[in-house]
Amino acid sequence: MSIDVDYHLLVPTYGNNFNTCFYCGCIASSHDHAPPLQYLPFYLATKEASEFLKIPCCNECAEHLKACKTGTLEERRQFAKNKLAKKYDKALTIYEMWTEDELSALDFSLRHSIEAGLKLGAETTERINFPGFTYEAAGMQQNVSYTTPEYFNVFGEQFSTFRAALDFASKAYRISKNTLKEYFADNDNNFESAINAIHKEMADKELKQQMKKRCGDFAKQHKQSIIFVHKQVDRYLSENEDITINDALEKLYQERVKPALAR
């Protein structure tokens, strides 16, 4: 039995998908095999999951998939998309971080570079999001399920793309895109959690700066150890969340410093 008989050609059901890469939507100029040809004896012997399909694809996806050993169409589709995302990571980052409106302030060489990245990033995003198409193989039609687009919420505002949500959140909450993207990944891929985490960190940093300055001024004014002042203020704040640093310093003065001066 020849390999050509073992594999069934994946044929688009509709004419507008002819000569189209099933994985990314580019022009198909090659074929991929699920499972890979070199591993056919293994799949025949082990009966591992495989669909024995010959899939139209572009040369780039075919090249990426040479390293993929899996035997199902969906596994190979995901592998190809991951490879595209990794290869064009810089362009995708530029596409997420920049908009056309932000280019006017740049000098020519940098603007030209960013414009090229935006274009490549947009093309790559479209390829990664390509859902495939309905096809026929071995006389049977297979419908490709088009998943509902993922939406990104930013405190009541809804966006269909990460890029649009990132741009809005960055401008609305005055947070750099790089910082926001990092915190988004570290907070369950949730913009609201990321923004709250950033604001909390900023508030904690501001509190530490205020503590350092006000405790230092207090210690100098009343000739106290700055370590002693810090410890006492920390204790007062931990005991009562409703008081401020100034309240804690006043309490320290009334309870510890003033009585000591009166002796």
Phi-psi region of 240 (alpha: psi -120 to 50; beta: other; left: phi over 0): beta
Cβ proximity of 71 and 49 under 8 Å: yes
**Between vectors from CA 186 to CA 164 and to CA 85, what angle results, nearest 5°?**
55
What's the rounded Cα separation, in Å, for the pair 68 and 37?
11
| Confidence (pLDDT) at 263 | 67
What's the rounded Cα separation, in Å, for the pair 118 and 176?
18
Alpha helices in 32-87 (DSSP H): 40-46, 59-64, 73-87
| Confidence (pLDDT) at 2 | 47
State the amino acid at position 114 in one-letter form.
I
**Between vectors from CA 134 to CA 162 and to CA 122, what angle results, nearest 5°?**
30
> How is residue 246 written in tokens?
């100034």
- Could you tell me the mean pLDDT of each successive run of 10 residues in the chain, 263 residues long? 69 95 97 94 90 96 96 95 96 92 85 93 95 91 68 92 93 94 93 96 92 93 92 91 91 88 72
Alpha helices in 65-143 (DSSP H): 73-87, 89-97, 108-129
Radius of gyration of the chain (CA): 30
| Confidence (pLDDT) at 149 | 56
What's the rounded Cα separation, in Å, for the pair 234 and 114?
48
Q: What is the pLDDT of residues 69-111, one digit of tens each?
A: 999 999 999 999 999 999 999 999 999 999 888 888 888 888 8
β-strands 135-137, 140-142 pairing: antiparallel
Q: Which of 168, 200, 197 is nearest to 184 (CA)?
A: 197
What's the rounded Cα separation, in Å, for the pair 30 and 57?
5
